């Protein structure tokens, strides 16, 4: 059952993170700030993965696409970091973006802007490469931040997904965005009966299965990205999970 895969993936996540932690302690295989960024990205994605199951069990399956889209954005953020010539610099931009926005916006109280500055300085001090540290300082001193943290290195989430994953991933992301942007179809997309306008929890067994399938597929993709980038050695387990997930493809309507 897809719910078994859903739960097994959470266990797989724990195993991947343990491998990453051990390798970092023994080999220091990636820079500290890159490790922190990936660790946070994947943990947040797993949190969403579990929340989607809770929504489906509670009769709120039609809310799931909003979270599924966010999960794809975690994947895009991870890809933007690890595929850049300077992953440490991109991880810095990712980690400090919110603080950078607060620092440069006079609408925020002085104490919040002061705390933001201190936070940014802490991120800068985590950088090991002198060239990257200088690049980071120049970035903060350059003026106001871009709308998206990865600009101008990347142009947008959809473009990142299409560039590094390809296939129908861009189409899936665009479809999920319909719900996120409160369009007319919006929350009807993941209802078994799209015309049902009740504000109460409703049972959507077909779309619930689709939601769990998509969640499993994209979480596995993110775990594979981490496994591949850090060379953690979980390729065989990834392929096993992929076979299990794809076996359900004909049973779900995505």
How confident is residue 1, by pLDDT bands cut at 50, 70 and 90? confident
The pLDDT tens digits for 12-48 are 999 999 999 999 999 999 999 999 999 999 999 999 9
Within its chain, how far is the Cα of 177 from the centroid? 15
The pLDDT tens digits for 42-53 are 999 999 999 999
Percent of the chain with pLDDT over 70: 99
Contact between 122 and 178 (Cβ < 8 Å) = no
Residue partners of 58: CB distance under 8 A and separation at least 6: 201
pLDDT at 48: 98
Structure-block tokens of residue 151 = 């600009």
Distance in angstroms (rounded) separating the CA atoms of residues 193 and 204 = 8
pLDDT at 194: 84
Domain boundaries defined on the chain:
2-84+153-251
Distance in angstroms (rounded) separating the CA atoms of residues 19 and 136 = 30
How confident is residue 252, by pLDDT bands cut at 50, 70 and 90? confident
pLDDT at 24: 95
Model pTM score: 0.93
How confident is residue 253, by pLDDT bands cut at 50, 70 and 90? low
pLDDT at 179: 86
Distance in angstroms (rounded) separating the CA atoms of residues 84 and 163 = 13
Distance in angstroms (rounded) separating the CA atoms of residues 162 and 71 = 15
Q: For residue 174, give the DSSP letter.
A: H
Q: Is 41 helix (H, G, I), strand (E, B) or coil?
A: helix
pLDDT at 192 > cutoff 60: yes
Long-range contacts: 155-163, Cβ < 8 Å, 24+? Answer: 157/72, 157/73, 157/76, 160/76, 160/79, 160/80, 161/72, 161/75, 161/76, 161/79, 163/79
């Amino acid at each position: 059952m897809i719910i078994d895969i859903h739960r097994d993936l959470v266990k797989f996540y724990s195993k991947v993170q343990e491998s990453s932690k051990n390798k970092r302690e023994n080999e220091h295989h990636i820079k500290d700030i890159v490790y922190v960024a990936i660790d946070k990205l994947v943990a947040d994605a797993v949190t969403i993965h579990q929340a989607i199951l809770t929504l489906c069990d509670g009769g709120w399956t039609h809310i799931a696409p909003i979270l599924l889209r966010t999960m794809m954005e975690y994947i895009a953020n991870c890809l933007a970091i690890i595929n850049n010539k300077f992953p440490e610099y991109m991880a810095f931009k990712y980690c400090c973006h919110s603080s950078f926005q607060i620092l440069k916006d006079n609408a925020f109280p002085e104490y919040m802007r002061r705390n933001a500055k201190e936070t940014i300085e802490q991120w800068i001090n985590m950088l090991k490469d002198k060239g990257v540290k200088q690049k980071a300082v120049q970035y903060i001193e350059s003026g106001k931040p871009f709308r998206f943290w990865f600009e101008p290195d990347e142009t947008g989430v959809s473009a990142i997904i299409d560039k590094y994953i390809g296939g129908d991933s861009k189409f899936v992301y665009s479809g999920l965005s319909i719900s996120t942007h409160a369009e007319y179809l919006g929350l009807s997309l993941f209802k078994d009966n799209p015309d049902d306008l009740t504000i109460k929890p409703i049972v959507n067994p077909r779309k619930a299965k689709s939601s769990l399938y998509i969640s499993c597929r994209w979480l596995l993709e993110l775990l594979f990205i981490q496994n591949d980038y850090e060379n953690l050695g979980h390729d065989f387990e990834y392929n096993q999970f992929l076979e299990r997930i794809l076996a359900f493809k004909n049973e779900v309507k995505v």
